[in-house]
Structure 1
């Protein structure tokens, strides 16, 4: 199937027509999104825009809000840590846009202070890249015993310079910080939260009581639920149990069938539902790259059977795009199609306060994805502008 035929240039008001449309809350049959100045003007019956120029999607295509990914380490052969620049961001965004993502929280994994400084200095220019929604700083304030592939030698306790760095980043764009609450002094989470940083718990051995204290200080979520965190036990809920139990907490989850067992995916969906659970990729540079494996901070990472691992077998992020995560949410997690689409768009947008993203309502950004019958991306629009050229599905 070829990509949709697009007539975009010229008129200030135009429409994208689809036989089926999901607006972030509900499905519409034979509908259209009317776009003006990069914003959604309305969702209307297709017959109402018969004379309006725009885009005609193939008969079996589905139109939905563009995907918002809260955890993207890299793509297109680029790791954000190696290229915290606008050029690096363009490569990552381009790779993931081919999988329906129109808003990325670019993720910096644990590294030395100079790398975080470089990101902060370039933040305004990076945030201006079309498709960048904000930043996710994953570490280095993590528990050594739950570090996963993060380097042990860079893990540390935050200092005054870190509070200033993260505050500057959050002043530019929405910012998530993943930390281990048991590794930071009392009041640390509150200080970060008061500066506008959205604190997530992850790479942590915290018990439920520690999680509760973190929530009282302002923590709002958990990073890649089930992975790199304390688990449910008979007398200690751990982070997993605390997140499932506390309605104030949300979570990201990697639905690739490798990071989390399908039974746990189904459990998370049933308990957290499409209000508190966001689908994420935790994607690495291999996505959109012909190289396959890559080098992560001096360590060789191999790609085999869709699995990224270091030499010791430790999982090193994931090799997948958001459209694949949506398919897996339906097929592995048992989510309805509407819930899967919402967990990839409206839910993550709400979690990080991305006003105007994730839903197709009046005034929202015209960030759209068109999917074929197999839920594979055939086209995207950001601020009403199509990808050039639209991706084709043979």
Structure 2
């Protein structure tokens, strides 16, 4: 395929008028727009469009009426097809705090899915994000307190074996017993994200020094950043290699706090996530998350006590919302493409329009950033 007449988001994270050529699912050439090219294959006219990498969501639970934790091949297939239709071409869905047997079933379903051909128009599963059960009782958010358990390196090794290496990201509360051992022993084989935690600055700094390199939905389910107690947020700011997830749905975090996060961390370290649950893409009504009833009304998903239970947005909507909040388009695109891929070690083949990388390409309208096309071949 030859994609011409668009503004291409380059490896330098800026837009340039270029021509992109792909073959058999791989980007084979990127040329100046005025280059003379003899090409006999399919041609896509990207006039009036930005040409950007496919989006990567490393933290979401479900959409289109299905949850990753259903441990169902049909449900996971539906999730991947819906995400693809919304411009998410690679993903790392998240589990919840659940019984061990349920977690094992989820992992095995993911393995089965990844080992079969997903077919066209389906997002590729790059890994799994364990958002539970190694979290804090105090900051459990919309997860079940009674199922929380202490972190265990042995259990993580068992689960990683069941997942055949697919576990890429583990949310962990560093102040809990066993967390330090997990991070010390396993940070070379999976990424640890500090989140759902009541930890202070010192505990977070120690965890980062031990190998943790990620923060789960910053601002949410953690102590606030204050002038005397900078907490996890301050520790992440002070540690250069740490990525910070940001839910930019217009509900979880105010526009000012979104802009402040980008100012604090820079656009090299922010990872936009949707944190969506099964009500995303669905009408208002009753749904579930982690075995708990959730009510979707408009842009909010709430437990019966009013706790936010994930989002009902898409990652593409998060990009548009970020831009509407004053984040430069280049920064928002970067935070939904190469940054999430770097955060889970998948940037060798995904996240940027680079010769030799997989053909995961979106066309976005230059006027409103609406999705015009998805190409993965």
Aligned counterpart in structure 2 of residue 95 of structure 1, from 51, 68, 82? 82
Q: Which moved more, 1:111-120 or 1:23-32?
A: 23-32
The Cα RMSD (Å) is 1.9
Map of 1:57 onto structure 2: 45
C-alpha displacement at 1:240, in angstroms? Answer: 1.5
Map of 1:143 onto structure 2: 136
Secondary structure class of the residue paired with 1:62: strand
Question: Contact between 2:104 and 2:162, CA under 8 Å: does it hold in 1?
Answer: no
C-alpha displacement at 1:305, in angstroms? Answer: 2.4
Q: Which moved more, 1:168-177 or 1:359-368?
A: 168-177
C-alpha displacement at 1:366, in angstroms? Answer: 0.4
How does the TM-score come out when normalised to structure 2? Answer: 0.92
Secondary structure class of the residue paired with 1:115: helix
Map of 2:105 onto structure 1: 118
Question: Contact between 1:146 and 1:229, CA under 8 Å: does it hold in 2?
Answer: yes
C-alpha displacement at 1:197, in angstroms? Answer: 1.4
Question: Contact between 1:18 and 1:63, CA under 8 Å: does it hold in 2?
Answer: no
- Counterpart CA distance in 1 for 2:78 and 2:142 is 23
Question: Contact between 2:172 and 2:194, CA under 8 Å: does it hold in 1?
Answer: yes
Gaps of 5+ in 1: 1-13, 385-394
Map of 2:114 onto structure 1: 127
C-alpha displacement at 1:161, in angstroms? Answer: 4.9
Question: Contact between 2:65 and 2:279, CA under 8 Å: does it hold in 1?
Answer: yes
C-alpha displacement at 1:162, in angstroms? Answer: 1.6
Q: CA distance change for structure 1 residues 205 and 341 in 2, over 3 Å: closer, same or farther?
A: same
- Counterpart CA distance in 2 for 1:172 and 1:74 is 21
How does the TM-score come out when normalised to structure 1? Answer: 0.88
2:69 is aligned with 1:69: no
Alignment of 1:8-87 (within 5 A): 14-47=1-34, 48-49=36-37, 51-82=39-70, 84-87=71-74
2:170 is aligned with 1:173: no
Map of 2:274 onto structure 1: 281
Alignment of 1:1-394 (within 5 A): 14-47=1-34, 48-49=36-37, 51-82=39-70, 84-128=71-115, 129=118, 130-159=123-152, 161-168=154-161, 171-173=164-166, 175-185=168-178, 186-194=180-188, 196-290=189-283, 292-332=285-325, 334-354=326-346, 355-372=348-365, 373-382=367-376, 384=377
Secondary structure class of the residue paired with 1:106: coil
Q: CA distance change for structure 1 residues 166 and 273 in 2, over 3 Å: closer, same or farther?
A: farther
Secondary structure class of the residue paired with 2:266: helix
Question: Contact between 1:127 and 1:173, CA under 8 Å: does it hold in 2?
Answer: no
- Counterpart CA distance in 1 for 2:18 and 2:162 is 39
Gaps of 5+ in 2: none
- Counterpart CA distance in 2 for 1:224 and 1:177 is 13
C-alpha displacement at 1:244, in angstroms? Answer: 2.0
- Counterpart CA distance in 2 for 1:158 and 1:212 is 18
Q: Which moved more, 1:116-125 or 1:323-332?
A: 116-125
Q: Which moved more, 1:179-188 or 1:260-269?
A: 179-188
C-alpha displacement at 1:174, in angstroms? Answer: 5.3
- Counterpart CA distance in 1 for 2:313 and 2:270 is 18
C-alpha displacement at 1:17, in angstroms? Answer: 2.2
Q: Can you list the C-alpha shifts for 1:172-226, whole angstroms capped at 9, x where unaligned? A: 33510001011132322112314x1110000000001101111122100100000
- Counterpart CA distance in 2 for 1:138 and 1:225 is 14
Q: Can you list the C-alpha shifts for 1:245-293, whole angstroms capped at 9, x where unaligned? A: 2213111100112111111111110121111111000011112334654
Map of 1:10 onto structure 2: none
Question: Contact between 2:29 and 2:355, CA under 8 Å: does it hold in 1?
Answer: yes
